[in-house]
Amino acid sequence: MVRWLAFVEGAERLDPWGAVEIKDYDRLLKVFGIRPFKELIPLLSKAGMEPSHLMMRGIIFGHRDFDKIIEAKIRGERVAVLTGFMPSGKFHFGHKLTVDQLIYLQRNGFKVFVAIADAEASIVRKIRREDAIRIGVEEYIANMIALGLDPKETEFYFQTNRGTPYYRLIQLFSGRVTAAEMEAIYGDLTPSKIMAALTQAADILHVQLEEYGGYKHVVVPVGADQDPHLRLTRDIADRMEGLLALERPASTYHKLQPGLDGKKMSSSRPDSTIFLTDTLEEARRKLMRALTGGRATAEEQRRLGGIPEVCSVYHMDLYHLMPEDSEVRSIYDSCRSGRILCGECKLVAWRKLEKLVEEHQRKLEKAKDIAWSVVEVPRF
Ligand code: SF4
């Protein structure tokens, strides 16, 4: 079921576990009090961080308190970024979008923490433990390393292996929120989703404990649909005052890249996305069949132009294939004016994608060997 912002009991909600389709990001800023990211561009420059193409193109469109993290960095304090991946399927271009942000922050001096959410995969998606571990290492960690995340500067961990202080946080947090408050944020909840939400709060906040490095300035880059987890975690951080000195985490929000079929990208619908381990033949087939913003006939498209805003191929160019602005602008203008038709445009994208996938898969072989050695694997 595709859900937009559901209107329940006077409050609009996002479902972080559902297939959310977000059509109006400006409205999201207003409804949830997220700040526009573009206001931070001058501050980033002051911190010596050249804004990435994801920031300049508005793909990273919002934040909460990221300005405070950047100011801490300017003062010379330690800063960190944390994210988590649920090992329930293959690694695709939607995941790459988050990893590109980790790499950017790592290259700008942020310590990186990556949670492999095997507990969540087991309790929410019913993935077998052995499968979650193998997928976590060989799909997620290996692909992240192959994309350029430096394993020496990254702490990868499995949730079920994180140790007592981390689990103590989950217990403490469970006494700081009520079922009604969680329902107001998430809607209907099952015990497994309550557990998963509190575990995510521990993921985000535990790196502030001395045992895990004592990082007080932490940012979490997420897709817009994951904001409920951040709101819950920030509330919990406030409520630990007097017991633990936890700072509110900051967050940045990126737009969800539309799938090749026009819906949300998902590992469970293989034709909605390209996996970074797809064969070249398979990747080409998916791209060539992708939904575009083209018109019904070539004549109509030459006359009226295409609609790149609703085209999944254009979004592949924008997010992943064309970091140079001049290139992506030229595709946009050619499409709008009808100078280029979809077949030709897909071939331009394919040439870029083919190179990217080929190079990535060459690096992936070596990365798979490294991946098992950079994380402690749960024993039970
Ligand atoms: S010409 Fe290119 S950008 Fe325009 S709708 Fe077709 S595939 Fe998309």
Phi/psi for 112 (5° steps) reads: -110, 130
Are residue 293 and residue 226 in the same domain, yes or no?
Answer: no
Beta pairing class for 19-20 and 2-3: parallel
User: Does residue 282 lie in a domain region?
Assistant: yes
User: Does residue 373 lie in a domain region?
Assistant: no
The number of domains in the chain is: 2
pLDDT tens by residue, 326-375: 999 999 999 999 999 999 999 999 999 999 999 999 999 999 999 999 99
252: domain CATH number?
A: 3.40.50.620
User: Does residue 86 lie in a domain region?
Assistant: yes
Q: How many angstroms separate the alpha carbon of residue 351 from the centre of ligand 1?
A: 15
328 lines ligand 1 (CB under 6 A): no
Q: How many angstroms separate the alpha carbon of residue 286 from the centre of ligand 1?
A: 15
The percentage of residues in the chain with a pLDDT greater than 70, rounded to a whole number, is 94
Mean pLDDT of all residues belonging to the chain: 92
Final residue before a domain boundary, out of 200, 224, 256: 256
Cα 302 from Cα 343, distance rounded (Å)? 13
* Rounded mean pLDDT, 146-154: 97
* Rounded mean pLDDT, 309-315: 96
For the entire predicted model, the pTM comes to 0.91
7: which strand partners?
A: 12
Task: Kindly report the protein residue whose alpha carbon is nearest to atom 6 of ligand 1.
Answer: 342
* Rounded mean pLDDT, 214-232: 93
Cα 307 from Cα 337, distance rounded (Å)? 10
Final residue before a domain boundary, out of 256, 283, 304: 256
The whole-number pLDDT of residue 4 equals 31
Phi/psi for 208 (5° steps) reads: -80, -20
Domain containing 210 equals: 24-256
Cα 204 from Cα 218, distance rounded (Å)? 8
357 lines ligand 1 (CB under 6 A): no
The whole-number pLDDT of residue 15 equals 66
| Residue 237: pLDDT band with limits 50, 70, 90 | very high
The whole-number pLDDT of residue 190 equals 87
* Rounded mean pLDDT, 217-239: 94
| Residue 282: pLDDT band with limits 50, 70, 90 | very high
pLDDT higher than 90, residue 224: no
Closest C-alpha to 204, from 238, 245, 246: 246
The whole-number pLDDT of residue 148 equals 98
Mutation test of ligand 1: which of 302, 317, 336, 342 has the most ligand atoms closer than 8 Å to its C-beta? 342
18 by DSSP, 3-state: which?
A: coil
Any residues with CB less than 8 A from the CB of 171 and at least 6 apart, and which? none
Q: How many CB atoms lie within 10 A of CB 329?
A: 11
